[in-house]
Amino acid sequence: MPEAYDPKKVYQQHSQESAAEDWEGYQMGKATLKYGSKNKKQRSDDYRFMFDFTVINNLDKQLPSEMLTEDKSRQKSAFQMLQEDRKTLPIYPYHHNLLQAIEDYQVLVIVGETGSGKTTQIPQYLHEAGYTKLGLKVGCTQPRRVAAMSVATRVSQEMGVKLGHEVGYSIRFEDCTSPHTVIKYMTDGMLLREIINEPNLASYSVIMVDEAHERTLSTDILLGLLKDLIKSRPDLKLIISSATLDAVKFSDYFDSAPIFKIPGRKYPVEIHYTTTPECDYIDAAIVTVLQIHATQPPGDILVFLTGQQEIETAEEILKHRMRGLGTKIAELITCPIYANLPAQLQTKIFDPVPDGARKVVLATNIAETSLTIDGIKYVIDSGFAKVKSYIPRTGMESLLVNSICKASALQRAGRAGRTGPGKCFRLLGIDDLANFDFIDPPPVESLIKALELLFALGALNKYGELTKTGRRMAEFPLDPMLSKVIVASDKYDCSNEIITIVAMLSVGNSIFYRPKDKKVHADNARMNFHLGNVGDHISLLRVYNSWRECNYSTQWCHENYIQVKSIKRARDIRDQLEGLLKRVEIENKSNPNDLDSLRKAITSGFFPHCARLQKNGSYLTVKHPQRAHIHPSSGLAQELPRWVVYHELVLTTKEYMRQSLFLSVDIWVGTEEFVIDGDYRRPVGVVLFNHSDIDFEVNHGDMIAQLILQKITTPEVPEVEDLDSTARGTGGFWF
């Protein structure tokens, strides 16, 4: 565990319980260390080569370690210092003009550099100007939940109020607000859900869409809804915060809305490049960190890596090499930051370091724009980011490491010049910067596949309108297929078990942990929940029920290698889902011993995710036939069933199906819900019967999706009364 999180050295304890708790904080459990594109064992003498100055050009001469000590004034209270800091932000001299512009115009596009203070200060200015009178709120959306939480925490400190009272945040499955909240930070997806329940957003006087240039799907939908909403609510103020490159685009979208520019506080940033691109960028980044720590003036370091695994690897190697140096060098405190890090550990990146020490923040691209960390003077840019993309043709999600665009490279470099002159070290050649990729409207193919899925789930009718099932599904802050599973559980009298399974799925793949020194014990404990080859969904249900039977014991989690924080979060999610059952009039029924009913409910939402075993041990997916394999961590990986339903299909080292469920074909043949060709006498497919109240016949989902899309985009096109189908079925839907 990093020293910053473990000042009393409790990490050195070696009991089973301590080991489990350490893993919770440090999130280890990787069998090997991975270095960028390489995969090799760490050599104990690697630290001897860390001062290889060929890695980075133009580093200054070595400086005495005393220069790492900075004088800090402690005479004033923390609150007074925060108020003085507010006045030093670049936005402060312009706040009167800004408030006047907001009063004069309903929509305002604001352009400001990262660190100018627009995210934290504008809502406070609006509150001070009276926009929160009469019980109204100022809402500010963020593209990431980490940003929403950290910014809300900062603003509550600046206002001198308790977080969750006057200032709060709302993220998926976590609402830290109260009836007294006047400034609310939230993810854009949460504001979308509020619009569903409150279409006119009557409780808000101002909505600020921050970091709009990141253009997530939720952001684009939100902007479209807000553009329509302001026509019926002339009193609602809309602020769009964007990077310079996209400001004109947003202005044009909102009928030539004025652009308010906030000059940034830019200090010069020296850019250094390696002589050649680094194939092992993690090792190069570590070497560079140690060079900076030993030779450069005081200032913290920010390292951009691609994901949690790389960050944990870099953190472990840095600690190992620093231990090898002993007292030869000043203390270096490592602070990781990534989306899945527990909230209490995420805030550690903002803590000041002791005199004489230096902090190195190991971050994903979340630190590009969403977070501003004081004291950063050195940035090490690997030049890569992990990008999640969806391939409509195959229905596969890929999470792969790609080169960043030019705009991201500029954003990363700018983090070093926020509080003073800085340096940015790019571990790539000068010509390797990619061109900026401007975001286009959603591809028609993606839209068609989305409409096709919603229609297949019974959420849309043939006119593209929400059905009763669709309205019930929309109440749950979940993926449409998970929402359909909950709605279908009402029919099979197993809603109590299904919301448990959905809650466990919602925390990702972080329920089990696997310490590298106890892999065999951890694997055996995990397999105990898979007895009977029932599938991963049922095993997750067994985990939760066993934990509940032990009175939610922490000791039980340690003994079974279960992450305490993850399963507690699953319990919180389950409690919220249980409350939503009442809203959609689903009775909370329990049917724990009827596994067939559970499989039917799950398959009601995930029937497009069926796959059939092939002779070579791989699987062929039903929809858009694709070769895939059961993930090695699955309980079904050893005994491959003939048919499975999987939660998601991801492309990493190869195509994997995560969270797979054994599916007996005999259950479905002849039922009113699904028919799977168990004899395999025709191309693999799924036929869905009576999935909604639609009274016409169609044999391919793409046809109806095309018609819905045509009806939405061209309303004047007449409806098609009949479809020329070569294989009709009564109310059938052929995938």
The whole-number pLDDT of residue 38 equals 39
The whole-number pLDDT of residue 370 equals 63
Residue 245 lies in a domain: yes
Cα(668)–Cα(672) distance, rounded to whole angstroms?
8
Residue 584 backbone dihedrals phi, psi, to 5 degrees: -100, 10
Looking at the structure, tell me whether residues 256 and 292 fall in a common domain.
no
Looking at the structure, tell me whether residues 258 and 228 fall in a common domain.
yes
The whole-number pLDDT of residue 245 equals 60
Model confidence at 502: pLDDT above 50? yes
pLDDT band at residue 713 under the 50/70/90 scheme: low
Looking at the structure, tell me whether residues 317 and 174 fall in a common domain.
no
Looking at the structure, tell me whether residues 511 and 412 fall in a common domain.
no
Query: What 8-state DSSP symbol labels residue 458?
Result: T
Residue 23 lies in a domain: no
Looking at the structure, tell me whether residues 410 and 274 fall in a common domain.
yes
Where is the domain boundary, 432, 458, 489?
432
Q: What is the pLDDT of residues 608-644, one digit of tens each?
A: 888 888 988 889 887 778 888 888 888 887 788 888 8
Model confidence at 432: pLDDT above 70? no
Across residues 71-84, what is the average pLDDT?
67
Domain span at residue 244 reads 90-262
The whole-number pLDDT of residue 494 equals 93
- Buried-exposed string 214-244: b where 16+ CB fall within 10 A, e elsewhere: bbbebbeebbebbeebbeebeebbbbbbbbe
Looking at the structure, tell me whether residues 518 and 581 fall in a common domain.
yes
The whole-number pLDDT of residue 202 equals 94
Query: Strands (DSSP E) along 374-440, which ranges?
Result: 376-381, 384-391, 396-403, 422-426
What is the average pLDDT score of the chain?
Answer: 76
Highest mean pLDDT among 416-420, 611-615, 696-700: 611-615
CATH number at 258 reads 3.40.50.300
CB 599 within 8 A of CB 661: yes
Residue 582 vs residue 438, higher pLDDT? 582
Structural domains counted in the chain: 3
Model confidence at 321: pLDDT above 80? yes
Looking at the structure, tell me whether residues 195 and 293 fall in a common domain.
no
Looking at the structure, tell me whether residues 228 and 279 fall in a common domain.
no
Model confidence at 13: pLDDT above 50? no
Across residues 287-302, what is the average pLDDT?
90
HSE-CB of 721 using CA atoms within 13 angstroms: 0
Highest mean pLDDT among 54-63, 244-253, 290-299, 360-369: 290-299
Across residues 94-100, what is the average pLDDT?
94
Residue 140 vs residue 90, higher pLDDT? 140
Residue 458 lies in a domain: no
CB 363 within 8 A of CB 411: no
Cα(476)–Cα(472) distance, rounded to whole angstroms?
8
Looking at the structure, tell me whether residues 141 and 239 fall in a common domain.
yes
Residue 194 lies in a domain: yes
In a 10 Å sphere around its CB, with 0-12 CB exposed, 13-18 middle and 19+ buried, how is residue 615 labelled? exposed
Residue 492 lies in a domain: yes
Residue 689 backbone dihedrals phi, psi, to 5 degrees: -115, 140
pLDDT band at residue 157 under the 50/70/90 scheme: very high
Looking at the structure, tell me whether residues 361 and 423 fall in a common domain.
yes
Model confidence at 188: pLDDT above 80? yes
The whole-number pLDDT of residue 635 equals 81
- DSSP-based three-state secondary structure for 279: coil
Strand-pair partners of 112: 262
Kindly report which listed range (104-118, 185-199, 622-636) carries the lowest average pLDDT score: 622-636
Strand-pair partners of 334: 360
Cα(253)–Cα(441) distance, rounded to whole angstroms?
13
Looking at the structure, tell me whether residues 204 and 110 fall in a common domain.
yes
Looking at the structure, tell me whether residues 140 and 187 fall in a common domain.
yes
Q: What is the pLDDT of residues 27-49, one digit of tens each?
A: 433 333 333 333 433 333 333 33
